[in-house]
Amino acid sequence: MGKFSKAGGREMPELNTSSLPDLVFAFLFFIMMVTSMREVTLMVQFRSPQATELQKLEKKSLVTFIYVGKPTQEFQAKLGSEARLQLNDKFAEPSEIQDYIAQEKSSMKEEDQPFMTVSIKADKDTRMGLITDVKQALREAYALKISYSARQAAE
Amino acid sequence: MGKKRKTPGINGSSSADIAFMLLIFFLITTSMDTDKGLARRLPPPVPKDQQKEESVDINKRNLLVVLINSNNQILCGDQFIDISQLKDRVKEFIDNPYNDEHKPEKVEEDVPFFGRTMVSKKHVISLQNDRGTEYQAYISVQNELAKAYNELRDDISKKKFGKSFSELDEDQQKAVQQIYPQKISEAEPKNYGDKK
C-alpha cells in the first residue's frame, strides 16, 4: 500500500538559477565590447540618401563624423530651417572644419593618422552648395579619405 | 558559548535583475549600426599661388562630362539622359569595346595575371554639380558611376578567374584595378541654371 502513495508526492526539483547573473553579465560585457557609446547628441535631423554600392567603414576609431541637415525642432526657432553643420556637440560653419579636423587628428595615434576617414552624414535634401563647402574645407585640411554615408537601397 | 553563530548568506536572487537592468541600459545607449557609405578620395588641395594654371590638358575623347544641374537633371556628354541610362553610358565610355575614335584611347600595358592588355587608363569622368543640386541626386550619380566600375571589374574577374571581384585575393584585385582604374574627377562647383 504505502509503497506508491507517499504523502507528499514527488516534487519537481527546482532549477538552479545561481548562474543566471553570470550569464547575463557575460552577455553584457559582450555588448559593451562590440558597440560604441553614442558620443554626440544629434542636433540636426537627417535621412541618409540611398545607394547600392556601399562599403563598410572599418575601424570606428578612425572615423570622424560631420553631420549636415536641418536643425531639430527645438533649435529651429533660433536657427531657422536652413541646413546646418554639426561638429561634435555644436553647430558650426564650414570654416571651422579645418580646426575640427586638426583637433581630431591630433587626438589619434600617430600611425593611424593617415588612415583617418571622414564620414559625411548628410540629409538627402541638402543642397550641394553646403556639401561642396565641406568638401573644399576637408581638402584644405588634408582629410582626403571621405565616405558619403548612405543607406542600402533595395534594388 | 561554544555555539558558533552562522552569518546568513546574502540573498543573491536579485543580482540577475540588476544585471538585466545594466544590460538594457547599455543596449539603449549604444549604437550597433555599422556605418556604410560610398568611399571616395578627394584630390589634394591646389596650392594658392598656382590656382590659375591648374587646367591639365585632357584630350577631348578621353573626357566624359557628367553634369547635374539645380533641377537634378543629368547631362552626360552633350545629351540629357535619365539616371537609369547613365550606368551603361559610363560603362561604354570606360570600356570602349570597339575602339571607337571618340571614346578614350587605350594604352598597352603589362598587367600581372593578364599579360599585355589594352588599358584605358587615360579616361577621366568629370563630375560637375550645381550648388543647388540635391544631395540625393548627387549620391545617385556617384552610385551609378561606382556601379559601372564594379560591373566592369566583376565582368573581367569572372572571365579570368571565375569569381566576382570581391572574392579575388589582393594581388588579383590590384591587377583588375589596373585594367579599370577609377578616375572620377570632381570639379570645383559652378552655378549652372541657377534659380535660387
Higher per-residue confidence, B171 vs A37: B171
Contacts of B27 in chain A (CB under 8 A): 31
A102 has pLDDT over 70 = yes
The model's confidence at residue B195, banded by pLDDT at 50, 70 and 90, is: very low
Residues 113-152 of A with CB under 8 A from B: 117, 119-120, 122-129, 131-132, 135-136, 138-140, 142-152
Q: One-letter amino acid identity for B148?
A: A
Residues 83-112 of B with CB under 8 A from A: none
Residue B146 CA, chain-centre distance (Å), reads 5
| C-alpha distances out from residue B27 to A34, B22, B175, B182, Å | 11, 9, 44, 40
Q: For B56-85, what is the mean pLDDT?
A: 81
Give the residue carrying C-alpha cell 558611376.
B145
A82 has pLDDT over 60 = yes
CB contact under 8 Å between A144 and B142, yes or no, is no
Cell numbers placing A56 = 563598410
pLDDT of residue B191: 55
pLDDT averaged over chain A? 80
Q: Kindly report, residue by residue over A5-64, the tens digit of the pLDDT.
A: 555 667 778 877 778 888 888 888 888 777 766 667 778 888 888 888 888 777 777 888
Domains for chain A: give ranges and CATH numbers: 44-152 (3.30.420.270)
B34–A contact, CB cutoff 8 A: yes
pLDDT of residue B33: 61
A38–B contact, CB cutoff 8 A: yes
Closest Cα of chain B to A87: distance in Å? 17
pLDDT of residue B194: 45
pTM: 0.73
- Give residue B161's domain range: 58-186
Whether residue B4 lies inside any domain: the answer is no
What's the structural domain count of chain B? 1
Q: How far apart are CA B106 and CA B86, in angstroms?
A: 22
Q: Which of A53, A54, A55, A151 to mutate to test the interface with B (most CBs of B within 10 A)?
A: A53
| C-alpha distances out from residue B42 to A32, A155, B27, B119, Å | 35, 28, 36, 24
pLDDT of residue B56: 60
The model's confidence at residue B196, banded by pLDDT at 50, 70 and 90, is: very low
Q: For B30-55, what is the mean pLDDT?
A: 68
Higher per-residue confidence, B3 vs A140: A140
Closest Cα of chain A to B118: distance in Å? 26
ipTM, two decimals, is 0.71
B151–A contact, CB cutoff 8 A: no
B132 has pLDDT over 80 = yes
Give the residue carrying C-alpha cell 559593451.
A32
Closest Cα of chain B to A7: distance in Å? 30
CB contact under 8 Å between A123 and B41, yes or no, is no
The upper half-sphere exposure of residue B179, i.e. CA atoms within 13 Å in the direction of its Cβ, equals 25
pLDDT of residue B32: 60
Share of chain A above pLDDT 70, in %: 90
Q: Are strands B36-41 and B30-31 parallel, antiparallel or unpaired?
A: unpaired
pLDDT of residue A125: 85
Whether residue B140 lies inside any domain: the answer is yes
